[in-house]
A and B are shown apart, each in its own frame.
Chain A
């Protein structure tokens, strides 16, 4: 007699808790309203540093155990000291991490074990835009490409579906592909 053990995928994502949260937010939609923030200070030149800690959610303010720091600068070709990545690169990193987290979550939900996930994200910028040389050239990325390399116990088609679903549910993908009203004020 043989016993078949059901092998469950473990990508370290607690999808059951997330599904539970869906139920809770259905009852209390106001708890789902989150506000995230970054507190940035200028250091020198184009060098600046962001502190990220507090955020609002589930109806209250939260403080993390530690404050995270994200620095930004510009490379030497722009006559800067190159002490940190450029802000657009941080945007690419944010997209990469958002999609990767999404792939892990969707894979967990679908019972797919991931062995390795890598994504290379590229964005094209014509810097004549930010230099104000041509009004027809935008400041931001004219195109962004993300290329995944995924090793998982799943078919090619199922992996393609993971990647498609992670885009469908990604905050940063939405931020980049849809317009957002941005209000900037001076205290």
Chain B
């Protein structure tokens, strides 16, 4: 059995940031990675993906790489390059191609079994990501067999799809981006959406992420939120990493010929049935967007920003008079269904009683149990905990906690 003080599981932005902070504090550690550095980015994302945060907002501990265009958005190869460069620059002790099979408690520490041997560590940091598994509704089994089903983890490019219509299920950033891309590629596209959040890419001449940064929204701590469960479940904003498109919302999709309808409720006897609540979901989305824009305007007013164009309000979401409530999937119109219905982390290898009744990891600001930590989950400590730009702060926090525990033990 190999022994190490701290074991970090996962070599994406969260694991690498943690490693950097542990090295700064001279804490002996190893990072275990099932594939290669930036594995999820390399293997589990679609080709055209760009970050939703501008280049300047990719600050990792001890590393700032905004590239030639600070206001641009990294494409997938840029993100992979960023993380590989970061791993090299921080001399992160990554062991690649090591798959963790089980995490159990042992003595005052933990035992980590892998396909390349067993480790014993005082501290374990779970940095294996928040988007390992695509959530797909149980009734996906009831789809007619001739329909191809894809998740955003399998989907790479429109060329992969057979000809014919596509039903994209889900109206968060992933769903709207894939619907737009498939429509541009010439497919007949229907987008089914429940709750979603519409947002302009840029507002009053500045990127929406600039606004969220300067107004302090990104840094909102868990303690300032009244219902953290609800906030953690919020869908991602309907954005694309492209300044030339102000909206990737339902209006822009409809303008390009995408049909929109309500949340897919069930598939029975080959017929997809959609919720009739689309109008309210659109109203809620417009209200949420406008509330956020009000917050931005109020900040601009009190902080006397002089060089900004005046406030602006956008047309409401156009809701079809009679959105469809059913779709016969046997009719031949739809050849492919894409489940953009969210992701969840894969914590199946954690063999400890640390989950709630819904199978979610229970943690307090990333602390699960003495010596057991997690990071990179949505709104873990702050609103930007799951962003490349936010994970560094959590990594420092966790590294400090591990450091303190070490000194307490020594004393």
- A residues within 8 Å of B by Cβ? 29, 143-144, 157, 160-161, 164-165, 167-168, 173-174, 176-179
Contacts and interface: CB of A to CB of B under 8 A. Distances in A.
Contact of B276 (A157, A164, A165, A176): A176
Contact of A164 (B262, B283, B322): B283
Contacts of A179: 265-266, 268, 273
B90 interface: no
B234 interface: no
A177 B262 contact: yes
A18 to B, nearest CB: 14
A57 to B, nearest CB: 20
A167 B277 CA distance: 8
A143 B279 CA distance: 12
B280 A168 contact: yes
B284 A178 contact: no
Given A160-B283, A176-B276, A177-B262, 17 more contacts: A143-B322, A144-B276, A161-B287, A164-B280, A164-B283, A164-B284, A164-B287, A168-B280, A173-B277, A173-B280, A177-B275, A177-B277, A178-B265, A178-B273, A178-B276, A178-B277, A179-B273
A175 B320 CA distance: 21
22 contacts: A143-B322, A144-B276, A157-B290, A160-B287, A161-B287, A164-B283, A164-B284, A164-B287, A165-B284, A167-B277, A168-B280, A173-B280, A174-B277, A176-B276, A177-B262, A177-B276, A177-B277, A178-B265, A178-B275, A179-B265, A179-B266, A179-B273
Interface residues of B, number: 15
A29 B356 CA distance: 13
Nearest to A22: B227
A13 B153 CA distance: 46
B233 interface: no
Interface of B: 262, 265-266, 268, 273, 275-277, 280, 283-284, 287, 290, 322, 357
B287 A157 contact: yes
| Interface of chain B, main secondary structure | mixed
Nearest to B271: A179
Contacts of A176: 276
Q: Which 6 pairs from chain A and chain B are nearest by CB?
A: A177-B276, A177-B277, A167-B280, A178-B265, A179-B273, A164-B283
B271 to A, nearest CB: 10
A168 B268 CA distance: 24
Contacts of A161: 287
Nearest to A158: B287
A136 to B, nearest CB: 12
Most buried by A among B266, B268, B280: B280
B329 to A, nearest CB: 15
A174 B275 CA distance: 8
Contacts of B280: 164, 167-168, 173
A73 to B, nearest CB: 28
A54 B277 CA distance: 31
A177 B275 CA distance: 5
Residue in B266, B273, B276 with the greatest tally of chain A CB atoms within 10 Å: B276
